[in-house]
Amino acid sequence: MGHLVSINPATGEELARYPAFDSQQIQTCIAQAHERFQSYRRIPFAQRSAWLKRVAGILEERKAEFGRLISLEMGKTLASAVAEVEKSAWVCRYYAEEAEGFLAERSMLLRNAYANASGAEHFASRSGIRYQPLGVILAVMPWNFPFWQVFRCAAPALMAGNTLLLKHASNVPQSALTLERIFQEAGFPPGVFQTLLITAAQVAEVVADERVRGAALTGSEAAGSSLARLAGQHLKKTVLELGGSDPFIVLPSADLETAVTTAVAARLINNGQSCIAAKRFILHRAIAEPFTAAMTERFRQLKVGDPLDPQTDVGPLATANILQEVDGQVQALVQAGAKVHVGGSPLGGNFYPPTILSEIPPDQPVAHQEVFGPVALLFTVPDVSAAIELANSTPFGLGASAWTTDPEEQERLLEELEAGSVFINGMVKSDPRLPFGGIKRSGYGRELGREGILEFVNVKTIWVK
Ligand code: NAP
């Protein structure tokens, strides 16, 4: 069986190495999760909420320690890693407060009875909806937000009364084990949250197990499609949060200064490795030149380097493979005739410079792919219709940001952009209170908000006469 290896992407140093679980260890964890579910599902909301608030407290108290671990293991800047831990605490507090209300039994009295074939009236003295947990849920998670992605799945799942098995990305095993310890320290009973140190190939065994009732995956299209195939075979509910190639549309009435500042942040968040990073900048021709010049100037000024150094703006990419893939996409575009405004070639190690490309041939396949690094693709369009058409021309549909002060344009963009979320005059961001997810090849189902907690529950219709 393989190993899960933690490597500091800034230095290449191996930090830790763990053998992957064997089948017996996997079976023990599934059995424990399943057995614990029988008692955990009956624990009152108030107790689950107290444990989850304790998790939030631990995250807040030790955010510097956890932030450093995240930064060392996958390369994001220390400040952004600490912010990720704080946001993870927020989602725990949010569901700790709101879950009971979201899942409260709903009465639906059917006042207009209808007569059935025998003429008897068909109505209940009591009817409505009761929300119940499903059981053991598998969470397959990515390395790019090693804490946040897990908490936004785990907090609602555990508040609903499910138990959870985490299969984290293979390159962040230390984060994965730390997360398990945090839930234990907060007082959750053993078996409620367990980390499986397994490879992608071992996911099949877990999904196939009768005791596992659902699976959430955040990651690439390939991984999502593979999990969905397995889940289909075994008839399991899934939620998929996959890739994106989010558009960032700028129209003439926009506040250009704010749009440029936000564009830089939106492209470079997490060293450019975020599903909802703005990836394609679709600029109205009236503002394309000044926008490009200003964005290029900002990119030039950014410091690439050690993620633990507070002066650093952009750290390394998380693995050598990611860097190779990003550089391959950039070189393909350059060979096809794209113009490089800044950056455009690796800096050594896992470091890649903030890069801006324009004049991209529309038939170039990379123009429609996700570029998972600090690379902005710029496109120029004549009007809002062309902007929407280009924005919708990828197979993805995760988020979209558009900049205009014209109310009619705003309404059109809200209505016509094919995406799970549309932000006008703001950056696409996840927020525990708002549902988050995609359409098309960006996946299905939702996390966060009320919709997020309803994904892994039995919406049970109850009817009593
Ligand atoms: P990835 O390679 O797909 O890995 C994600 C997770 O899936 C890892 O735990 C990985 O395990 C596992 N996995 C990979 N192949 C699998 C398979 N065939 N069957 C079952 N599990 C499998 O993605 P990544 O490179 O870590 O993350 C980047 C991608 O995630 C990007 O496309 C990004 O847009 C997307 N993402 C989406 C969201 C969202 O909310 N929509 C959020 C963050 C990231 P191993 O590590 O062991 O291979």
Same domain assignment for residues 312 and 366: yes
145 within domain boundaries: yes
Percentage of the chain beyond pLDDT 90 is: 95
Question: How far is it, in rounded angstroms, from Cα 8 to Cα 11?
Answer: 6
Same domain assignment for residues 237 and 375: no
Residue 185 in 3-state DSSP? helix
C-alpha 42 to ligand 1 mean position (Å): 33
Secondary structure percentages of the chain, helix, strand, coil, to 5: 40, 25, 35
Write the residue with the smallest CA distance to atom 18 of ligand 1: 223
- Cα 67-69-70 angle, rounded to 5 deg: 65
436 within domain boundaries: no
**Residue among 356, 246, 374 nearest 317 (CA):** 374
Q: Phi/psi zone of residue 461: left (φ > 0), alpha (ψ -120 to 50 degrees), beta?
A: beta
437 within domain boundaries: no
Q: What integer pLDDT is reported at residue 319 of this predicted model?
A: 96
Q: What integer pLDDT is reported at residue 465 of this predicted model?
A: 86
Same domain assignment for residues 228 and 273: no
C-alpha 223 to ligand 1 mean position (Å): 6
CATH of the domain at 76: 3.40.605.10
Same domain assignment for residues 387 and 358: yes
Same domain assignment for residues 44 and 174: yes
165 within domain boundaries: yes
What is the DSSP track for 223-245?
Answer: HHHHHHHHHHHHT-EEEEE----
Write the residue with the smallest CA distance to atom 17 of ligand 1: 223
H helices of 336-397, in order, are 384-391
Question: How far is it, in rounded angstroms, from Cα 459 to Cα 402?
Answer: 36
Q: Look up residue 15 and give its DSSP letter.
A: E
C-alpha 437 to ligand 1 mean position (Å): 15
Model pTM score: 0.97
Same domain assignment for residues 419 and 331: yes
Residue ranges in the chain whose pLDDT is less than 50: none
C-alpha 243 to ligand 1 mean position (Å): 9
C-alpha 140 to ligand 1 mean position (Å): 8
Q: What integer pLDDT is reported at residue 19 of this predicted model?
A: 98
Question: How far is it, in rounded angstroms, from Cα 29 to Cα 236?
Answer: 19
Same domain assignment for residues 128 and 21: yes
Same domain assignment for residues 171 and 279: no
Question: How far is it, in rounded angstroms, from Cα 133 to Cα 159?
Answer: 9
Q: What integer pLDDT is reported at residue 111 of this predicted model?
A: 67
CATH of the domain at 279: 3.40.309.10
Write the residue with the smallest CA distance to atom 26 of ligand 1: 142
CA of residue 462 relative to chain centroid, distance: 34
111 within domain boundaries: yes
Same domain assignment for residues 235 and 252: no
**Domain tally for the chain?**
2
Amino acid at 264: V
Q: Which residues approach ligand 1 with their CB closer than 6 A?
A: 140-144, 149, 167-170, 199-200, 203, 217-220, 223, 226-227, 241-244, 275, 370, 372, 398, 438, 443
Which of 84, 241, 447, 455 is catalytic? The answer is 241
C-alpha 156 to ligand 1 mean position (Å): 21
- Give the tens place of pLDDT for each residue, 37-57: 999 999 999 999 999 999 999
Question: How far is it, in rounded angstroms, from Cα 182 to Cα 51?
Answer: 11
269 within domain boundaries: yes
Domain that holds residue 396: 246-431
Same domain assignment for residues 203 and 280: no
275 belongs to the catalytic site: yes
Q: What integer pLDDT is reported at residue 440 of this predicted model?
A: 98
278 within domain boundaries: yes
Write the residue with the smallest CA distance to atom 10 of ligand 1: 169
Contact 155, 126 (CB under 8 A): no
Of 275, 321, 324, 448, the residue with max ligand 1 atoms within 8 A of its CB, to mutate for a pocket test, comes to 275
Which ligand 1 atom is at minimum distance from the Cα of 168? 9
Burial environment of residue 30 by CB neighbours within 10 A (0 to 12, 13 to 18, 19 or more): buried
Same domain assignment for residues 53 and 160: yes
Which ligand 1 atom is at minimum distance from the Cα of 145? 43
100 belongs to the catalytic site: no
141 within domain boundaries: yes
Burial environment of residue 282 by CB neighbours within 10 A (0 to 12, 13 to 18, 19 or more): buried
Same domain assignment for residues 250 and 383: yes
Which of 73, 275, 409, 418 is catalytic? The answer is 275
Question: How far is it, in rounded angstroms, from Cα 395 to Cα 368?
Answer: 7
